[in-house]
Amino acid sequence: MTLDVVLEDHLPHPVEAVWRALTEAESVSEWLMATSDYRPAVGAQFRMKTERLSPSGWVDAEVLEVDAPRRLVWAWSAGDGLPPSTVTFELAEEAGGTLLRLTHRGESDPAVGRLLQDGWPTRIELLRRLL
């Protein structure tokens, strides 16, 4: 299936605070999936522990772009034999906080794609609570 998730949300926090939550391994582990080897540097590869998205129990990822504190792009592979999908986080200052735009695009196993489409709003809510 073609995955085309686009979410926008206003977070009542400064761009720098949201950026930290997207770029610190401890924060990512709290709102998304557990990771110990994540760092926001182009070319950095990392793994996130999952119970539902991958047969191996891991999502393998790589940082493709970093434009602090505005844009962060990951390649994301759930081990389903398909090319990695792309997760993009874009931040913009907005009155009273930050506009977060998340896109997740690529080909996905249909079951995994449905989990991602349904799961991203919950993850953004967890990010909101963490902040």
**CATH code for the domain of 30:** 3.30.530.20
Are β-strands 97-107 and 45-49 bridged in parallel, bridged antiparallel, or unpaired? unpaired
pLDDT of residue 79: 81
Give the number of domains in the chain. 1
The values of phi and psi at residue 90, to 5°, are -125, 135
Which residue type does 49 have? Answer: K
Q: Which two tokens stand for residue 26?
A: 């401890």
pLDDT for residue 111: 86
Which of the four pLDDT bands, split at 50, 70 and 90, describes residue 19? very high
pLDDT for the residue numbered 128: 96
Q: pTM surpassing 0.75?
A: yes
Boundaries of domain holding 114: 2-130
Largest CA distance in the chain: 43
Mean pLDDT to the nearest integer, 118-124? 96
Contact present, 115 and 78 (Cβ < 8 Å): no
Q: For the residues 61-66, what does the mean pLDDT come to?
A: 98
Long-range CB pairs of 26-35 (<8 Å, 24+ gap) are 27/130, 30/126, 30/130, 31/123, 31/126, 31/127, 31/129, 31/130, 32/123, 32/126, 32/127, 33/59
Mean of pLDDT values over 77-94:
92
